[in-house]
């Protein structure tokens, strides 16, 4: 048991401006987890179409649950010093639990459902319980109790879904995740305990949190390279595969350029877009969910075309190839803080509309042409966004 002095020391600690190596180690598990999720999306595209929505719903549920764990841990390390042993214990325990979840993903709606549910509940209950003990005597302790209360309610649905099976499991787990999303969006309010945001109780380092977002974005971006590279490497190069590989590379560079160089409303166009320059909005974590989800969809879509480039193309594949960039652009446009006095930049929203319109006639094109069109439009959006903002001479913003 930690002494009272050390407990108060944790509450008084401050997160460093830069992420620690342990946090980067924590993200290694998510390289594997995102690859598993991408595999599920790819499997969803190969099943009978009348079950596509239900299978895609399961994948979305898992993706959101894994994102919830990562986002809460990023907030934790951006609030308290992750170099302290108390926080490192939480990160390492969560890291192992996340690995178990990722391993369980393929059969989470099958024989490994109880393993997934129990592991998830232990992670989500263990973190606030541990912090409530470590923050004894500090106002932030009540915030941990509030989070614990909400996760206790969601935990009942998680475990019930693990015991149940089939449709009942999907419904119960969806309710559990809805409870957590509502709790996070409303700052985990509990009667008689309070509903004040965490930032009102302790200092949250936005610089540190922005860097963690940037790092997670880069991990997601690697999925495009992994999916397309792996798809090409086994059968080897051909004209169709080479064109799609080039298109995937163009899309990757465009994602990078838009994410780091887009200037949010009310910001100076000559400032760095990374690290300190990324001024997160209240809904930034949800924006990151859309950004990463869009990148994963894009990676899977391009990978599927490389594996089977023969026409005709499937409507679901077109939706994935164009829908991924649309999700990314919407998420990026809402990532940064909004200023009422600033004129809103609509460039990314216009780009999303262009992609949506272009997707309609693309069902008539060969699969390779679809990837090329999507990549060219995305590159055009990146160029147009850069010209509108007229950034300074810097060419490589820091994390």
- Given a contact cutoff of 8 angstroms between Cβ atoms, the answer to whether 118 and 159 are in contact is yes
- pLDDT tens, position by position, 181-192: 999 999 999 998
Per-residue CA distances from 352 to 56, 100, 223, 357 (Å)? 22, 36, 21, 9
Under 8 Å between Cβ of 379 and 248:
no
The parts of the chain modelled with pLDDT lower than 70 are 1-9, 11-12, 47-54, 263-278, 338-344, 390-399
Q: Is the pTM of this model over 0.85?
A: yes
Asked if 187 and 196 count as a contact pair (C-beta separation under 8 A), the reply is: yes
- The pLDDT value given to residue 343: 60
For tokens 């693990």, the residue is: 162
Nearest to 332 by CA among 260, 381, 398: 260
What's the pLDDT score for residue 141?
A: 87
Contact in structure between 117 and 161 (CB atoms under 8 Å): yes
Instruction: Count CB atoms within 10 A of the CB of residue 209.
Output: 22
Q: How far apart are CA 262 and CA 270, in angstroms?
A: 11
Give dist(CA 325, CA 352) in Å, integer: 7
Rounded alpha-carbon distances, angstroms, from residue 243 to 302, 306, 319, 368: 11, 9, 20, 7
By the 8 A CB rule, do 297 and 219 touch? no
- Burial of residue 52 (number of CB atoms within 10 Å: 0-12, 13-18, 19+): middle
Q: Quick one: pLDDT at residue 120?
A: 97
Two tokens at 165? 């099976």
The torsion of the CA quartet 331, 332, 336, 342, rounded to 10 degrees, works out to -110
Q: Considering only CA atoms, which of 207, 215, 203, 335 is closest in space to residue 276? A: 207
> Residue 336 forms beta bridges with which residues?
280
The pLDDT score that the predictor gives to residue 76 is 93
Contact 292/342 with Cβ under 8 angstroms? no
The pLDDT value given to residue 47: 64
Compute the distance between CA of residue 350 and CA of residue 394 in angstroms, rounded to an integer: 26
The pLDDT of residue 7: 40
**Which burial class, exposed, middle or buried, applies to 226 when counting CB atoms under 10 A from its CB (0-12, 13-18, 19+)?**
middle
Q: Is 122 exposed, middle or buried (0-12, 13-18, 19+ CB in 10 A)?
A: middle
Tell me whether residue 310 is exposed, middle or buried, using C-beta atoms within 10 angstroms of its C-beta: 0 to 12, 13 to 18, 19 or more.
exposed
């Amino acid at each position: 048991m930690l002494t009272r002095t050390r407990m108060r020391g944790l509450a008084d600690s401050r997160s460093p401006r830069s992420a620690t190596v342990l946090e980067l180690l924590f993200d290694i598990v998510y390289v594997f987890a995102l690859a598993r999720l991408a595999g599920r999306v790819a499997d969803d595209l190969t099943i009978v179409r009348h079950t596509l929505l239900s299978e895609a719903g399961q994948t979305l549920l898992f993706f959101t649950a894994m994102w919830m764990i990562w986002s809460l841990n990023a907030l934790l390390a951006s609030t308290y010093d992750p170099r302290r042993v108390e926080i490192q214990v939480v990160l390492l325990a969560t890291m192992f639990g996340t690995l178990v979840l990722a391993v369980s993903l393929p059969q989470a709606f099958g024989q490994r459902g109880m393993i997934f549910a129990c592991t998830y509940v232990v992670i989500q209950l263990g973190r606030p319980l541990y912090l409530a003990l470590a923050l004894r005597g500090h106002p932030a302790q009540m915030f941990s109790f509030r989070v614990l209360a909400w996760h206790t309610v969601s935990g009942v649905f998680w475990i019930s879904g693990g015991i149940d099976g089939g449709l009942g499991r999907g419904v119960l787990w969806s309710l559990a995740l809805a409870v957590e999303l509502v709790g996070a969006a409303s700052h985990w309010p509990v009667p008689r305990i309070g509903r004040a945001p965490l930032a009102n109780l302790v200092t949250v380092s936005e610089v540190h949190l922005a860097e963690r977002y940037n790092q997670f974005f880069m991990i997601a971006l690697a999925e495009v390279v992994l999916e397309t590279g792996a798809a090409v490497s086994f059968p080897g190069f051909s004209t169709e595969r080479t064109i799609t590989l080039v298109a995937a590379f163009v899309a990757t560079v465009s994602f990078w350029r838009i994410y780091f160089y887009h200037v949010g409303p009310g910001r100076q166009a000559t400032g760095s877009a990374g690290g300190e320059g990324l001024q997160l909005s209240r809904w930034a974590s949800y924006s990151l969910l859309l950004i990463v989800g869009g990148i994963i969809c894009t990676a899977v879509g391009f990978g599927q075309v490389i594996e089977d480039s023969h026409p005709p193309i499937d409507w679901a594949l077109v939706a994935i190839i164009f829908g991924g960039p649309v999700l990314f652009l919407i998420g990026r446009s809402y990532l940064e803080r909004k200023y009422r006095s600033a004129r809103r930049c609509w460039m990314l929203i216009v780009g999303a509309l262009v992609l949506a319109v272009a997707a309609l006639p693309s069902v008539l094109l060969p699969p390779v042409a679809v990837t090329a069109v999507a990549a060219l439009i995305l590159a055009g959006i990146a160029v147009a966004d850069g010209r509108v903002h007229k950034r300074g001479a810097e060419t490589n913003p820091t994390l």
